[in-house]
Amino acid sequence: MNELDALVDSARASFEQAATPADLENAKAQFLGKSGRLTELMKGMAALSVDEKKTRGAAINLAKQAIEAALNARRQALADAELQAQLKAEALDVTLPGRQRGQGGLHPVSLTLERIEQIFGSMGFDVAQGPEIETDWFNFTALNTPEDHPARSMHDTFYVEGGSASAPNLLRTHTSPMQIRHAVQHVKRHRDRLDAGQGMPEIRVIAPGRTYRVDSDATHSPMFHQCEGLWIGENVSFKDLKVVFTDFCRTFFESDDLVLRFRPSFFPFTEPSAEIDIQFQTGPLAGRWLEVAGSGQVHPHVVRNMGLDPEHFIGFAFGMGPDRLTMLRYGVNDLRLFFDGDIRFLSQFQ
């Protein structure tokens, strides 16, 4: 083997050994660099005759082309290897089944609230929303609840730090403050007509939302839901309350033979007052009286705090527990399940 063929072989071998592009560039310098072995051979041609230069030059050129070809081949091989390694590292298995996005749904209590709004909506009731952080005035005082009422104690109500009697200072313990808030707005809107002795459109509203009490067991949660109902007009009676609420319960539970009982009770803001119990005639709860709401004829003091004359305006209010309605409708026996956020429980309502 002549000297040039040996050089080409040795270049090929050293390129083959180069494991990285940097190694390869070093190997290249040894042959094609300024003082590389091939470059040295070319420098040696200066001493040759013109004829010798021709043959020797052609031979060296061939060797150079062979070395360059070997270099490029190795470069390509290293680049391919790198690409393969990268592809392997970022492997994407297109045959895997797609990842499905879980289908969300409404919370069972939200389903109940929607249902309540829809049923009362069909009976001409508006839906009102109000603040969960309330003032003493709206939550208690305006509702004829005296200063020394136990519901006002620290044990029963969450107070907000830094609040005062005129600024919102507690988490509302019921949705009843919405009776006052909504009625005051309504009265304001119809002030001119009222002042002119022309009366006003009846107040017919429900106010669903979150409420808070210092209570926690299987049937009480510190945060729970209520839905207030209020109907005020010039001639609204307890009979209307019975009809509306009976209709609501039968529609809500999809049961015509549901029986209601209005059991005398006491609330500072209604007089007379009644707890509303329902009884199913069939199904697992048949025969038991189940309390679902407090209610009563709105107290004259409260009517006055709405900005209305209790001699002319009268009506009723009720407050029911959507959480309890949800438990009864779906046969759930622990209220806390609604607020644990366990998807295994919640997904059963979709």
Chain positions contacting ligand PHE, by CB under 6 A: 174, 176, 267, 270, 294-296, 317-319
Of 12 and 182, CB closest to ligand PHE = 182
**Both tokens assigned to 176:** 């009843």
* Minimum separation from the CB atom of position 349 to ligand PHE (A): 25
Of 27 and 178, CB closest to ligand PHE = 178
- Tell me the residue ranges of DSSP E strands in the chain: 126-127, 133-134, 170-171, 203-212, 223-233, 259-267, 270-279, 290-298, 314-320
* Minimum separation from the CB atom of position 176 to ligand PHE (A): 4
Of 70 and 207, CB closest to ligand PHE = 207
**Both tokens assigned to 209:** 């939302």
Please check whether residue 165 is in contact with residue 140, taking contact to mean a CB–CB distance below 8 angstroms: no
Any idea which residue has 């759930």 for tokens?
332
Cis peptide bond upstream of 300, omega within 30: no
* Minimum separation from the CB atom of position 151 to ligand PHE (A): 9
Q: By beta-carbon distance, which residue lies closest to ligand PHE?
A: 319
* Minimum separation from the CB atom of position 296 to ligand PHE (A): 5
Please check whether residue 210 is in contact with residue 321, taking contact to mean a CB–CB distance below 8 angstroms: no
* Minimum separation from the CB atom of position 231 to ligand PHE (A): 11
Residues 281-284: contacts with CB under 8 Å, at least 24 apart: 281/255, 281/257, 282/255, 282/257, 284/331
Of 194 and 227, CB closest to ligand PHE = 227
**Both tokens assigned to 39:** 């470059």
* Minimum separation from the CB atom of position 286 to ligand PHE (A): 26
Of 174 and 204, CB closest to ligand PHE = 174
Any idea which residue has 């043959």 for tokens?
55
Of 37 and 304, CB closest to ligand PHE = 304
How far apart, in whole angstroms, are the C-alpha atoms of residue 293 and residue 207? 14
* β partners of residue 318: 229, 295
- Count CA atoms closer than 13 A to 306's CA, side-chain side: 31
